[in-house]
Amino acid sequence: MTQHKTRHHYIRDVLKIVKQRNHSEPVFIQAVNEVLETLGNVVEEHPEIEEQNLLERLCEPERQLIFRVAWKDDSGHVRVNRGFRTEFSSVLGPYKGGLRFHPNVNMGVIKFLGFEQIFKNSLTGLSIGGAKGGADFDPEGKSEDEVMRFCQAFMNELFRHIGPKKDVPAGDMGVGAREIGYLFGQYKKLTNQYEMGVLTGKGVGWGGSLARKEATGYGVVYYANEMLKARGESLKGKRCIVSGAGNVALYTIQKLQQLGANVVACSDITGTVVQKNGIDWEKLRMVSEDERKHVNYFAEITPDSEFCLGGKVWEVPCDYAFPCATQNELDDTDAADLVANGCKMVCEGANMPCTSEALDVFREADVLIGPAKAANAGGVAVSALEMQQNAGLERWSFEEVDDQLQTIMKSIFETCVHCANKYSTKEDYIAGANIGGFLRVAQAMLSFGIV
Ligand SMILES: NC(=O)C1=CN([C@@H]2O[C@H](COP(=O)(O)OP(=O)(O)OC[C@H]3O[C@@H](n4cnc5c(N)ncnc54)[C@H](OP(=O)(O)O)[C@@H]3O)[C@@H](O)[C@H]2O)C=CC1
Ligand SMILES: O=C(O)CCC(=O)C(=O)O
C-alpha cells in the first residue's frame, strides 16, 4: 500500500475538531497531527475505527488534573506553582508516564507528552496506559531543601490520584531519583503504606530497578542499531552528536561509545561542547549527575574540548544525530545543516524533538528517522519491569533487565518494520511506530465498548 497522508475525510474531520477544542495548545495539536496523518490506510482497512469514532475518543484525555502547589522557599517566601497530571488512556493498563519539572510546562505540553505516551507504551507490548504530569517549577538554582519542599507540596495533591493499579508516575526532565525519593517519602507519609509500585525510577536500594537510569538512553542506541543493521550498516567508528547532557543524553552517549561510535559533541542550555576524539563520558557524568552543573563547566575542566556559547550542536558535522534534550529542539534549518554535513540517521531520544518541517527535510534527503515513540520507549519499558519486580517482591540483576530491554527494543523495531511495510513505505518508521502503537490500543478500545 502507498502512504496515505491526511486524505481520509474522517481523519480531516477529527483533526479539525482537535484543533478547535485545543486551539491554545500548539504542541498538542502538532503531536496529534503527526499521528493522525499516518493512519489513513489503517482507517481505510478498518471501518470500525470511524464507526466507533476511535480517533476523536483517543484525542480526548480520560481525565486531566490541574492543581495549586504552594511551598516555602529558603528565604521564607511562599511560592505558588501549577501542577498537572493528564491521565490519557487506561485501556492497556494503569496510567503510566513521567513527571516533568520545567518552567515551560503547561497543559498543552503535558497533553502532547501524555498523548505520545499512549502509543509508546503500547509499542512495548506491556500492560501500561498513557499519562504524563509535572509542574512549571524550575529546579535550576534551587537548594536541596527547596526541591524537597516542592516535591512534598506536589505530592500533597497528587497522592489522591495515583496508585500501583491506577496511575504510576516516574521521572522526566527535571525529575530523577532524587525527586522520586522525596515524592515517594511524602506518599508513604500521607498514606501510611509502603506501596513500592506507586512510582518508578526509584533508588535501587528501595525498590528501584537496576538499569532504569540507563534504560532510555541504552534503548535509543539499541533501536538505532537495529535500523542500521537493516541497512547493512553499523555504529562502529561513526561520528555521532547528541543534544542534551541530562539522563537520556548521558546514557545514549555511554552506549554509543560502548558500541564503538565516536561521540564528538553534546549540549545543554549553556551551549555546545565539542571533543573531537570523543566526549570524556565519566567526566561528563560527574559534571551532570553528581555536581548538577552544565557543559560550559565540563569544557572549562576539559583542555582538549571546545565550547560554543549558546551554539547549536546540529552545526557539528556527524554521521548520526541523537536529539536527547527537548521538544522542537531541531528545526528545518538545523535539519538542512545536518543533511549538508552528511548526516545519514537521526534517532530521537527526546519526545518530539524534531519539528514537522525538520522531518520533511529528512524525508526528502532520505535520512533514516528513528521516531521517539519507538526509540525512547526503553525507559518506560524498564519502568514496567520495575513494577513487575515490585509486585513480585523480586530484584533482577542488571544483565537480566538489560537483556529484556534489548529484546523489547528489537520487538518494537520489528513492529515498526512490519507496520511501515504493510501500511506505508519501507523504512517509514514514523508511520510504523504510530500504526503499531495505535492498533493495539484500538483493539482494546473496540473490545471495551463505548466507555
Ligand atoms: N528520563 C526518561 O526516562 C525519559 C525521557 N524522555 C525525554 O528525553 C528528553 C530529555 O529528558 P531527560 O534526559 O530525562 O531530562 P534531563 O532533565 O535529565 O535532561 C535534559 C537535558 O536537556 C537539556 N536541555 C533542555 N532544554 C534544552 C534546550 N532548549 N536546548 C538545549 N538543551 C536543552 C538540559 O540542559 P540544562 O540542564 O542546561 O537545562 C539537560 O541537559 C525529554 O524530551 C524527555 O521527555 C523520553 C523517555 C524517557
Ligand atoms: O518511566 C516512565 O514511566 C515514563 C518515562 C517517560 O516519561 C517517557 O517515556 O517519556
For 86-141, the pLDDT digits (tens) are: 999 999 999 999 999 999 999 999 999 999 999 999 999 999 999 999 999 999 99
Based on the number of CB atoms within 10 Å of its own CB, is 448 exposed (0-12), middle (13-18) or buried (19 or more)?
A: exposed
Among the bound ligands, the one closest to the CA of 349: 1
Question: Comparing C-alpha atoms, which of 218, 222, 187 is closest to residue 202?
Answer: 187
What are 382's three cell numbers? 524498564
The CATH 3.40.50.720 portion of the chain extends over 213-370
* Angstrom distance (rounded) from CA 35 to CA 12: 12
Question: Comparing C-alpha atoms, which of 39, 25, 7, 4 is closest to residue 442?
Answer: 39
417 alpha carbon, distance to own chain's centre: 20
Is 170 near ligand 2, meaning CB less than 6 Å away?
A: yes
Q: Is the dihedral of CA 388, 389, 394, 396 positive or negative?
A: positive
Say which residue the cell 533508588 belongs to: 203
Residues belonging to the active site: 132
Is 118 near ligand 2, meaning CB less than 6 Å away?
A: no
Is 245 near ligand 1, meaning CB less than 6 Å away?
A: yes
* Angstrom distance (rounded) from CA 166 to CA 96: 9
Low-confidence residues of the chain: pLDDT under 50: 1-5
The CATH 3.40.50.10860 portion of the chain extends over 63-195
Q: How far is the CA of 133 from the centre of ligand 2 (A)?
A: 10
> Which 8-state DSSP code applies to residue 198?
G
Domain 63-195: what homologous superfamily? Leucine Dehydrogenase, chain A, domain 1 (3.40.50.10860)
What is residue 311's predicted lDDT score, i.e. its pLDDT?
81
Closest-CA residue, ligand 1 atom 8, reads 350
Which of 117, 162, 348 should be mutated for ligand 2, with most atoms under 8 A from CB?
Answer: 117
What is residue 7's predicted lDDT score, i.e. its pLDDT?
56
What are 266's three cell numbers? 553534546
Q: How far is the CA of 324 from the centre of ligand 1 (A)?
A: 6
Which of 101, 111, 121, 383 should be mutated for ligand 2, with most atoms under 8 A from CB?
Answer: 383
Say which residue the cell 498513557 belongs to: 130
CATH of domain 213-370: 3.40.50.720
Sequence-ordered list of residues with C-beta below 8 angstroms from that of 121, at least 6 positions apart, any chain? 92, 93, 96, 97, 128, 129, 130, 377, 380, 384, 437
Q: How far is the CA of 3 from the centre of ligand 1 (A)?
A: 32
Is 173 near ligand 1, meaning CB less than 6 Å away?
A: yes
The ipTM is 0.99
Strand pairing category for 239-243 and 320-323: parallel
Closest-CA residue, ligand 1 atom 43, reads 350
